């Protein structure tokens, strides 16, 4: 049975940022809704944390729209609009602003939701490739093969797949494939319109399913093509089951595609949205690709695609395939052969699904066009400190959830561009400087910011004579390596002790992973509430922590007896450590204190007027 075929599923979450907001606030469900960027014109505005009320109305809805619910799309709202424009055409739209922190959008809630989806999908995948915040490619070959082995084809698999999947073999699919890249970007309005134009009928799809049934069941000696079709149909069931699980467990709907490679699966995924899925069977590929705009192929959306269009005077994949092959190869000696295979949808021209669940790097960047250009090193340093604060939080999460730490820091600097409008607006020159960084599991904001500033200084030294005019600045942490996961209880105390009591320079605060982890674990109570801004305060204000309990507690002092109920709430390795500590104390002959009711306290983290007391609740 077609041993080398890979069954690839592709998942794209529906109106993802809106979906995340709807899970957080059920009152948004079913309503026209959009997520808006924060308004960069309002400088120095206080941060809007994820848990705050972020619904925006009228004049405070100026930020651009970045995600649109399907209800709002049906009313003409698209991604390019400002919140204000959307309110004009859809007055009852709910506009939710992205959370902000460190002077920019704080996308952690969306990234975390994306990671949950990846983790769930990977349970049934041979390989899981996270492609973006809301796109995942999965290799489901083994699962598809298992279904074919274990379930009946004609009475179970095929009818079930028909009930949950579209085939790319339909007029609706072909029209959706012909939509320009620009229209798909405009909140996929093209697809909705096409479905309406096509009257929503999928009669030809029914016929295609019937044809598939007769081909795959009447043959005594099924040919390899039938085997591939069966595998893809079984894959469609796997994808439908996974999508249902994402919906039930996480509350998000998503769209899916199934094909023999990532490129075709992604194409299939975009043909029917939202909450639908499409199977691309090999024999339907030529017709599907015929009118596909060239720039919808991965890698052909930029300069390379423009070059091909101009060189051959073409705009669709069909036109490229109709161009004599030797002409393509002559014009593109290095990539021509590959391009023809890729445009034909050949599996050999597309990379297999890579097993990559996690982001390769943590990065942060911001543009400073027009009068916002950065002209002084102090301004650059300020932003690098802000970026360092935000990246530190994400690094802490990486250590906590995936036991990975970055080993390289990279500063990228864009100069030029940002004048007026037109192509020159984007003509930036990009410069990068990088150096290794040893964060381990105890890295600090200070380490990140000082390294970043050093990188910038190195770059600036080389261009000193030119007046500084930076139009984009980025900071990233890459080169992720696995680190040891075990945490010692003593490091919690060390963490508390190592945090400076003064935070004149917010970037010099050195909260360690352990202190931050302790807070996130919910064993931390914060008192009083943070009033100072800066990385540490940001963290604690955003963290899901409990406020100080008023109950009386037990102090853990040398010789204390441990309250078993309290201990049971700690991670198991810390329980072991605490038990070992008390055992050592007992062995040393110290007298045990009986369970005197006093506030129990494990440590304290102070930064300016922020005090985080690490206690057991
Ligand atoms: N996003 C963004 N800025 C953009 C494009 C997207 O911030 N210019 C964010 C918001 C989106 C998320 O990325 O919710 C995923 O992008 P998609 O292109 O997949 O769009 P959606 O998931 O919102 O909609 P769809 O249902 O069409 O996939
Ligand atoms: Mg999406």
Whose CA is closest to atom 26 on ligand 1?
14
Is the distance from the beta carbon of residue 188 to the nearest atom of ligand 1 less than 6 Å?
yes
| Angle, in degrees to the nearest 10, between helices 108-122 and 16-24 | 100
Q: Looking at residue 14, what is its pLDDT?
A: 96
Whose CA is closest to atom 12 on ligand 1?
16
Whose CA is closest to atom 24 on ligand 1?
15
Is the distance from the beta carbon of residue 274 to the nearest atom of ligand 1 less than 6 Å?
yes
The rounded Å distance from CA 55 to ligand 1 centre is 19
The rounded Å distance from CA 538 to ligand 1 centre is 26
In this structure, the strands spanning 404-405 and 481-482 are: antiparallel
Question: Given its phi and psi angles, is residue 511 left (phi above 0), alpha (psi -120 to 50 degrees) or beta?
Answer: beta
The rounded Å distance from CA 184 to ligand 2 centre is 11
Mean local confidence (pLDDT), 105-119: 92
Is the predicted pLDDT of residue 371 greater than 80, yes or no? yes
Is the distance from the beta carbon of residue 13 to the nearest atom of ligand 1 less than 6 Å?
yes
Q: Which of 67, 79, 111, 268 to mutate to test the pocket of ligand 1 (most atoms within 8 A of CB)?
A: 67
- List the one residue out of 1, 99, 6, 110 whose CA is nearest residue 47: 99
Highest-confidence segment of 90-99, 100-109, 476-485: 90-99
Ligand nearest to the CA of 67: 1
Whose CA is closest to atom 7 on ligand 1?
66
pTM equals 0.70
Q: Looking at residue 395, what is its pLDDT?
A: 93
Is the distance from the beta carbon of residue 134 to the nearest atom of ligand 1 less than 6 Å?
yes
Residue 173's contacts (CB-CB under 8 Å, 6 or more residues apart) are 166, 167, 271, 272, 278, 284, 288
Whose CA is closest to atom 20 on ligand 1?
15
Is the distance from the beta carbon of residue 67 to the nearest atom of ligand 1 less than 6 Å?
yes
Environment class of 467 (CB within 10 Å of its CB; exposed 0-12, middle 13-18, buried 19+): exposed
Q: Which of 13, 73, 131 to mutate to test the pocket of ligand 1 (most atoms within 8 A of CB)?
A: 13
Complete DSSP assignment for 27-71: GGTTS-EEEE---TTSTTPPP--TTS--EE-GGG--SBEEEE-HH
The rounded Å distance from CA 293 to ligand 2 centre is 20
Instruction: Measure CA 548 to chain center.
Output: 33
The rounded Å distance from CA 185 to ligand 1 centre is 9
Identify the weakest region by mean pLDDT among 42-56, 147-161, 347-361.
42-56
Is the distance from the beta carbon of residue 273 to the nearest atom of ligand 1 less than 6 Å?
yes
Identify the weakest region by mean pLDDT among 62-66, 323-327, 350-354, 585-589.
585-589
Highest-confidence segment of 250-264, 483-497, 509-523, 596-610: 250-264
Q: Looking at residue 188, what is its pLDDT?
A: 52
The rounded Å distance from CA 507 to ligand 2 centre is 35
Identify the weakest region by mean pLDDT among 37-46, 279-288, 338-347, 457-466.
37-46
Whole-number Å distance between alpha carbons of 393 and 536: 9
Whose CA is closest to atom 8 on ligand 1?
66
pLDDT band of residue 509 (cuts 50, 70, 90) is very low
Instruction: Measure CA 251 to chain center.
Output: 17
pLDDT band of residue 251 (cuts 50, 70, 90) is very high
Helix (H, G, I), strand (E, B) or coil at 388: helix
CB neighbourhood size of 262 (10 A): 25
Identify the weakest region by mean pLDDT among 135-144, 432-441, 530-539.
530-539
Is the distance from the beta carbon of residue 17 to the nearest atom of ligand 1 less than 6 Å?
yes
pLDDT tens-place string over residues 421-465: 444 555 668 888 999 999 998 899 999 999 999 999 999 988 866
pLDDT tens-place string over residues 212-227: 888 887 656 566 677 8
């Amino acid at each position: 049975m077609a041993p080398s075929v890979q069954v690839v599923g592709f998942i794209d979450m529906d109106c993802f940022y809106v979906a995340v907001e709807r899970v957080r606030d059920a009152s948004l469900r079913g309503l026209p809704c959009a997520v808006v960027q924060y308004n960069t014109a309002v400088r120095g505005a206080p941060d809007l944390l994820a848990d705050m009320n972020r619904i925006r109305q009228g004049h405070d809805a100026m930020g651009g729209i970045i995600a649109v619910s399907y209800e709002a799309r049906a009313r003409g709202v698209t991604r390019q609009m400002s919140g204000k424009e959307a309110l004009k055409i859809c007055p009852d739209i709910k506009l939710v602003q992205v959370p902000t922190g460190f002077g920019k959008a704080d996308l952690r809630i969306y990234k975390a939701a994306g990671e949950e989806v990846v983790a769930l999908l990977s349970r049934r995948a041979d390989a899981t490739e996270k492609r973006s915040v809301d796109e995942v490619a999965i290799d489901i070959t083994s699962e598809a093969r298992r279904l074919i082995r274990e379930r009946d084809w004609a009475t179970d698999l095929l009818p079930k797949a028909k009930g949950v999947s579209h085939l790319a073999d339909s007029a609706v699919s072909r029209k959706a494939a012909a939509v320009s890249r620009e229209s798909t970007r405009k909140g996929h309005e093209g697809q909705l319109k096409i479905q309406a134009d096509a009257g929503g009928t999928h009669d030809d799809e029914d016929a295609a399913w019937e044809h598939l049934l007769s081909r795959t069941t009447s043959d005594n000696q099924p040919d390899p093509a039938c085997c591939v079709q069966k595998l893809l149909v079984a894959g469609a069931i796997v994808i439908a089951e996974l999508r249902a699980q994402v919906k039930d467990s996480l509350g998000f709907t998503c769209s899916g595609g199934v094909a023999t490679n990532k490129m075709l699966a992604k194409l299939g995924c975009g043909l029917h949205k939202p909450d639908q899925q499409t199977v691309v069977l090999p024999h339907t590929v030529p017709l599907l690709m015929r009118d596909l705009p060239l720039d919808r192929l991965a890698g052909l959306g930029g300069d390379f695609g423009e070059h091909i269009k101009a060189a051959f005077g073409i705009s669709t994949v069909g036109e490229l395939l109709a161009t004599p092959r030797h002409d393509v190869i002559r014009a593109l000696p290095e990539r021509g052969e590959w391009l023809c295979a890729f445009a034909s949808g050949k599996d050999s021209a597309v990379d297999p699904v890579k097993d990559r669940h996690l982001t390769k790097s943590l990065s942060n960047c911001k543009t400073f066009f027009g009068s916002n250009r950065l002209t002084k090193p102090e301004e650059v340093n300020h932003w690098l400190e802000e970026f360092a604060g935000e990246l530190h939080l994400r690094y802490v999460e990486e250590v906590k959830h995936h036991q990975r730490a970055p080993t390289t820091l990279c500063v990228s600097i864009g100069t030029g561009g940002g004048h007026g409008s037109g192509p020159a607006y984007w003509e930036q020159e990009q410069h990068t400087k990088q150096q290794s960084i040893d964060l381990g599991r105890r890295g600090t904001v200070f380490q990140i910011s000082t390294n970043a500033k050093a990188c910038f200084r190195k770059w600036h030294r080389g261009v000193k004579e030119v007046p500084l005019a930076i139009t984009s600045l980025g900071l990233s942490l890459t080169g992720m390596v696995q680190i040891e996961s075990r945490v010692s209880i003593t490091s919690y105390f060390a963490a508390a002790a190592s945090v400076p009591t003064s935070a004149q320079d917010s970037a010099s605060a050195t909260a360690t992973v352990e202190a931050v982890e302790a807070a996130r674990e919910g064993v931390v109570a914060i008192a009083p509430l943070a009033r100072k801004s800066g990385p540490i305060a940001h963290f604690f204000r955003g963290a899901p922590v409990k406020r100080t309990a008023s109950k009386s507690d037990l102090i853990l002092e040398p010789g204390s007896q441990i309250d078993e109920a309290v201990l049971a709430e700690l991670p198991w390795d810390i329980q072991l450590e605490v038990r070992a500590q008390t055992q050592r104390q007992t062995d040393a002959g110290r007298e045990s204190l009986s369970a005197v009711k006093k506030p129990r306290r494990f440590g304290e983290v102070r930064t300016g007027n922020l005090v985080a007391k690490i206690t057991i609740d």
